[in-house]
Amino acid sequence: MKNKVDTIINTKWILLIKPKNKVIENSSIVINNSIILDIDDTDIIHRKYESKELYNLNTHCIMPGLINNHTHLSMSLFKGIADDLNLDAWLKNKIWPLETKHVDNEFVELGSKLAIIELIKSGSTCFNDMYFFPEVTAYASLELGIRASLGLITIDFPSNYAQNSEEYLEKGLNTRDKLKNETLVSFTMAPHAPYTVGNETLKKIFTLSNELDLPIHMHIHETENEIIESIENYNQRPIERLLDLGLINPNFIGIHAVHLNSDDISILSKNKANLVSCPISNFKLGSGIPNAALQNSEKISLSFGTDGSASNNKLDILSEARVGSLLAKGISKDATKFNSNDALECLTINAAKSLGMENKIGTIEKNKVADIIAIDFNKIISQPIFNPVSHIVHAIDRENITHSWVNGKCIMKDRNVLTIDENLINQKVQRFVKKF
């Protein structure tokens, strides 16, 4: 008698990620109770199991869901509102005034939902966010069924969300207490940046990170100016200062890291910190080229983030990995660098590791949670196919991604997000932004 299971997916290729570069053909994945129960030849699977749900995706490649490891989801409502501005002017003249005027619960709910729809349609099954009102984004994630890592944001100046660092931390910890048993939701301590958070607050955050075993999610070394100011104010580069405060450790997720000297690299590498590169945002805001992070990806575990929609202007994590991979080749003048496997490890297992979830997601393996996407290669503009791995990075578009499962549940089918009314959100967004 056959085993009864929730779901079987038959497919042409499965990219496992681990072992590196391993693609198996004409195989099936069995999902039961949100777990990958089995992976084998399609014939064998169908002799052993029968399923409630069956997907025949015979021109597709299945791979682990992509992780967008740095976002400010709600800012999707500001997509394209502030182009061609350097980071400083962009923040001070555009984004901060807009945030003061508009950011509240309603803004964050709608912006998060819009962004999560885009994430799902871009192949992301998990994101790592940093923004005000993280509780609202958490509930939007639960509604849409995506896996969420939410930054408990802390800044030493007031916003519409909190008045001072104590209030930021208190609200953040309350949010975590409320939601800590949700399977799909996890948290990071998220001090905004070395130039917006002082030592006293950082010490508290370090203690909390240890007590609660939470990663620390923080912008670092995004612009040259940030480093110059830190030397003026602290007589240290930001990474040196964070090291002294204890923050640079395997739980640290440093975002951007555009400007790194050899000491910075050695500190990050020795202390096994994680970096997230957001090359498109760095370019677009004139911050520079995150070359050091890309060239040292063998020494420092690297993943990618899109940053927010106000500085990208897409949440297309595949594009980010493509640009990162191309850049690593172009700047080193060595095309053998940062191949497509490296790029896809960044989007899956490396990001999972930085979030402390490497035993749960990031590869297609038995007993891991089924966070999975399917990519259709049958479009004419995707033909011919010689190597599915390089095809994912260099030849397809996010539009080729047709299906998505998170925690074993199908949340996108044939590019329709199943967990929300997309048209309703589209209409709401078009109405909402009229006031900006």
Q: Which residue, 258, 297, 298, is CA-closest to 278?
A: 258
Residue 226 binds its own copies (CB under 8 A): no
* Rounded least distance, CB 281 to its own copies, Å: 9
Stretch that binds its own copies, among 39-47, 171-179, 267-275, 422-430 (CB under 8 A): 422-430
Residue 326 binds its own copies (CB under 8 A): yes
Residue 398 binds its own copies (CB under 8 A): yes
* Rounded least distance, CB 367 to its own copies, Å: 32
CA 257 – CA 294 distance, rounded (Å): 10
Q: For the chain, how long is the longest CA-to-CA vector?
A: 73
Residue 404 binds its own copies (CB under 8 A): no
The one among 43, 53, 83, 182 contacting its own copies by CB under 8 A: 83
Q: In the structure encoding, which two tokens stand for residue 99, read together?
A: 């945030």
* Rounded least distance, CB 267 to its own copies, Å: 24
The one among 90, 139, 252, 405 contacting its own copies by CB under 8 A: 90
CA 224 – CA 222 distance, rounded (Å): 7
* Rounded least distance, CB 293 to its own copies, Å: 13
* Rounded least distance, CB 272 to its own copies, Å: 27
Query: Which residues have a Cβ under 8 Å from the Cβ of 192 and sit 6 or more positions away?
Result: 130, 153, 154, 155, 218, 219
Residue 316 binds its own copies (CB under 8 A): yes
Q: Which CA distances in Å does 242 have to 122, 157, 183, 247, 287?
A: 34, 19, 31, 5, 21
The torsion angles phi and psi of 160, rounded to 5 degrees, stand at -65, -15
The one among 271, 283, 353, 413 contacting its own copies by CB under 8 A: 283
297 with 346: CB under 8 angstroms?
Answer: yes
Stretch that binds its own copies, among 212-220, 261-269, 278-286, 298-306 (CB under 8 A): 278-286
Pairing of strands 409-413, 274-277: unpaired
Beta bridge partner(s), residue 50? 4
Residue 70 binds its own copies (CB under 8 A): no
376 with 400: CB under 8 angstroms?
Answer: yes
Residue 333 binds its own copies (CB under 8 A): yes
Residue 394 binds its own copies (CB under 8 A): yes
* Rounded least distance, CB 255 to its own copies, Å: 16
Q: Which residue, 62, 25, 52, 16, is CA-closest to 366?
A: 16
> 372-391: which residues touch its own copies (CB under 8 A)?
378, 380-381, 383-387, 390-391
160 with 104: CB under 8 angstroms?
Answer: yes
Instruction: List residues near its own copies by CB under 8 A.
Output: 77, 79-81, 83-87, 90, 114, 117-118, 121-122, 224, 279-280, 282-289, 312-314, 316, 319, 323, 326-327, 329-337, 339-340, 378, 380-381, 383-387, 390-391, 394-395, 397-399, 422-423, 425-426, 429-430, 432-433, 436
